[in-house]
Chain A
Amino acid sequence: MTRVRQYAVATAPALIILGFFVWFANWIPQTEWDPPEKQDIGASMTPAQLADVGQTIALQRGCLACHTIEPGSGVQGGGRGPNWAGLATRRAQGVDGGPGDLVEYLAQALYEPGAYLVEGYADIMPAATSAPAKLTYEEIVAVVNYLQSLGGTPSAKLGDIPRPSGDTAGGVAATGGASPVEASVKDPVAIFTAFNCGNCHSLDPGVVLVGPALDAASLKDTASGRGVSPRAYVIESIVNPGAFEKEGTLSGVMPPTFGDQMTAGQLEALLDYLLSSGGGQ
């Protein structure tokens, strides 16, 4: 036998084994994967249309690798994450000690999944706004509508849900970069309006929108309960919103950049306004 033939015979079993691997890899189900497609989401879309888009997003971003949609299984559908079937019914009133309605609860669950973990499940889900899903605000709204449709009727529109902190698009809450008002503006009402504070906070006593009420009495009560002066409490809450988050309100929603965008004079003017009768009618 020639040397080449000897080597060829010796290599043949190896090539047969590799051939088997290739055959097997082509025989099993083929899991080709494409990056998620960009979804066109317009301000004029109805909640039902948003829900359809949300379903596509949920499928493409791999949500169902953990969550199940098993009707009649309750919260436990056998997956790594809670069962989605009937979610809208189960969470119609939100969650105890947290967001009080379904839409807020779903938004919170997407922004900060570990905040109100369903019992029996591990804290393994990353925020939907981070990798790998990296949903935009519009996509979050679409997914919220889709989840609402599982046992309920979708109702959320763009703007109904607060933007995640750091989201510069849309202008609901301008964050980062340039200030929405000129540095020379000292009018506290203009500052309050320009920074869209009213989108999430009410000046009426006891009225909770997304965040707590900002009437003077409430602010002073809360500051007292936390053992700090009202001025220190309000300043800290503006420049570092995570410092005194109030239980039962959405976490991580208020942009952390207001302290950088406001001048010291504007912050002072807003402070005086909120802690005086002007802000606490």
Chain B
Amino acid sequence: MDPLGTRSRPLRERLPLPLFAALAAVLPLLLSNEYYITVLIFMGINVLLVVGLNLLMGYTGQISLGHAAFFACGAYGSGILNVRLGWSPWVCMPVSLLFTGVLAYLIGKPILKLKGNYLAMATLGFGLIVEHMAVEWGDLTGGPSGLSGVERLTVGDWRFYTPGIRYAYLVWAGVFLCIVLAQNLVGSRIGRALRAIHGSEVAAGTLGVDTARLKLQVFVLSAVLASLGGALYVHYLGFIAPASCGFVYSIHLVTMVVVGGMATIWGSVVGACILTLLPQVLTFLEDYDILVYGVILILMMLFMPEGVVRGVLAAFRHAGAKVSGLGGAGPRAADGG
């Protein structure tokens, strides 16, 4: 966390962003296979969602077990407008984002009054309702087998989706922007207020923080980010099915937040990347990957509840302290980056 502005931030905190930008710029070029590019694209989309969810869960402390519903709103929203009304994807996308934002506002207003377990169940219920609607309202959504024939993104003759590398750059440019904005947010007055809400909502209120309004704003922001991911997804694949945006995906997203680390932007990136790659690595397990997710969740909460990023950094610091002969120094102040 740095209250003073970029000027005096230590090198350690300023390094990740340029490194990330370099990596994101170079990696697509190194991947030969269209399949790997597709995985890279999905990874980017997951990062978008996880950063948004972390802002809500990690920073503000509001648990959401139905976040995939907003992804679905973006994907289905944009897809349906395109397939049923024939609008251009460039119009469908912003409209579906707006729609999701409004929906999130309407849903968020009443349910963000709830705390802890109750909020979890309300978001879970909402997510399942959306999933069920996607399955049942077949005339609109294409039913269980999904919606296909969605147009891909083009500008005139220039196609964004083939070769896939163009889409990868589009998505990761969006991810880069998202990370920068999220970091700005977290280090700002609003970011502090959000974390204060997590720390003690009542105390924050007595200091002048309009907690209800901020929670709602963050909720809507994370929903819109999720729907952006959904829209990007559907206009790449040309297709969306309820199975890809239901309860299972909501749990995946929560797992990514937990694994990467709550209340850390880079943690979200790392968590999303690891858990997008994991199923690829575990394909031999087929359906049992869900078993692995369960084990991961349990083990993370038992042994590394602060997430991979902080856990690894702490391990390095520990090792460093041992090597230089110092005792175990106290933990550094919580960083928001």
Do A and B pair up? The answer is no
